[in-house]
Amino acid sequence: MARSPAKDHTTDKIFPDGFLWGAATAAHQIEGSPLADGAGPSIWTRFAHTPGMTLNGDTGDVACDHYRRWKDDVKLMRELGLRAYRFSVSWSRILPEGTGRVNQAGIDFYSQLVDELLANDIEPLLTLYHWDMPAALDDRGGWLNRECADWFAEYGRVLYRALDGRVKKWVTLNEPWVVTDGGYLHGALAPGHRSKYEAPIATHNLMRAHGAAVQAYRAEGKHEIGLVVNIEPKYAASESSADKAAVERAHAYMNGQYLDPALLGHYPDELKEIFGDAWPEWPAEDYALIKQPLDFIGINYYTRSVTKANDSYPLNAGAVKQALGTYTETGWEVFPQGLTDLLLWAKERYGNLPTYITENGAAFFDPPVADTDSSGARRIRDPLRMDYLRKHIGAIHDAIQAGCDIRGYMVWSLLDNLEWSLGYSKRFGIVHVNYDSQQRTPKDSARWYSRVIATHGRSLADPLP
């Protein structure tokens, strides 16, 4: 991927009128009470309770207790000045068996949350699926069963009928690449499978489910629906032909595997090379289902990858850590220029679609308990996170100046939360959570971000506190 010229991110930034500033979360990571009020278990409930699958055996049984503390969390969003809140719905709260019987208590929970957001002038962005399929559907094959497209469309229709109009921005899938790579190829995430033959099937059925959910929305809804992907720019470790070929494979596998079928109606050719005899041929009608007109795309960005050819499966490519640079607690390089580069790439390849940065953030060390400053107030100092956010918001502004239609920014995450199989070991939140007391403390980054929102980006030029 070509690099755009490095920019000075300290100059004055003013974002377009109507730019939507917000924060993002996911149901299983924050809600807790996963079986409350008639909900069914999800694949993550099952996975986390399987010994050895998560760090320290951590589960989402309590998480941030958002299921019971949601009113206070919305009040906190209002105090920070958020204009939008991106959240996901737990499928098994709505349909405990995945299909059929609707759990009204689940509908009521999200309906009340949406009403509270709107009462506080915060726009809801609702994601149907953030990795937590009902366990009952996994028992029927999960994303390996072609019927999943019908299951997902049914689930979508239940929510569209309950919430459309109050919710005007919908997302089908969050990061299908992670679902497939982590859940079906490498086994690090639920449902914990490891098969090169299953991964392409899961990919394709996820995309079919996406298309079916969009079709269902066009029949039921009246507003906007899109797809959220995580994409990561790939740069060659050297000028060798082997490294350049490795970059093309890595780029197709992560960045093209889901956007190409959704927006162009086909998969990248490199996937056949990557998976070999495990990559099936799909019928033309599947592509027609997948390629539905979208109102927007969401892009989640955290880091880049410098890629070198090697013998690792499935890509014969691997990331090379750079000698210089800042790295987060998850081992990801801080590289804001990559965000500008990939936004320009997406504009060139897919056209200038309305785009939201639906996740962007960093895990750095924060203490488990907040400090107390000289006035007695609780405080979490997180200068590295503030610097990360400032540089990446600046990179978005550079992309806007270059003509990209970027409509909003959702910081990941509002709250420290369950980082999936890494448990509670990584803190991404701009709001600190004491997991023992569930006390929330806005970090310095939250106060800083609040000022960015209030000034519509002008304060990005100010020195960090």
The CA distance from 244 to 281, in Å, is 27
Q: Is 175 a catalytic residue?
A: yes
Q: Point out the catalytic residue in the list 248, 270, 333, 359.
A: 359
Residue 123 near residue 87 (C-beta atoms within 8 A): no
Nearest to 210 by CA among 150, 163, 267: 150
Q: Is 329 a catalytic residue?
A: no
CA 264 to the chain's CA centroid: 22
Amino acid at 231: I
Q: How many angstroms separate the Cα of 398 from the Cα of each of 128, 245, 274, 297?
A: 31, 29, 34, 19
The CA distance from 10 to 461, in Å, is 5
Q: Which H/E stretch holds residue 205?
A: helix 198-220
| CA 151, 33, 75, 364 torsion-angle sign | negative
The CA distance from 97 to 39, in Å, is 9
CA 88 to the chain's CA centroid: 10
CA 426 to the chain's CA centroid: 16
Q: Point out the catalytic residue in the list 31, 175, 248, 333.
A: 175
Give phi and psi for 8, each to the nearest 5.
-85, 115
DSSP assignment of 277-324 equals: GGS----HHHHHHH----SEEEEE----EEEEE-S-TTTSEEE---SS
Q: How many angstroms separate the Cα of 115 from the Cα of each of 118, 178, 210, 348?
A: 5, 31, 26, 39
Which string of b and e fits 86-113 if b means at least 16 CB within 10 Å? bbbbbbbbbbbebbeebbeebbebbbeb
Residue 175 falls in which region: left (phi positive, over 0), alpha (psi -120 to 50) or beta: left
DSSP assignment of 213-269 equals: HHHHHHHH-SSEEEEEEE---EEESSS-HHHHHHHHHHHIIIIITTHIIIIISS--T
* Burial label, 284 (beta-carbon count in 10 A; 0-12, 13-18, 19+): exposed
DSSP state of 181: I
The CA distance from 389 to 399, in Å, is 15
Catalogue the active-site residues: 175, 359
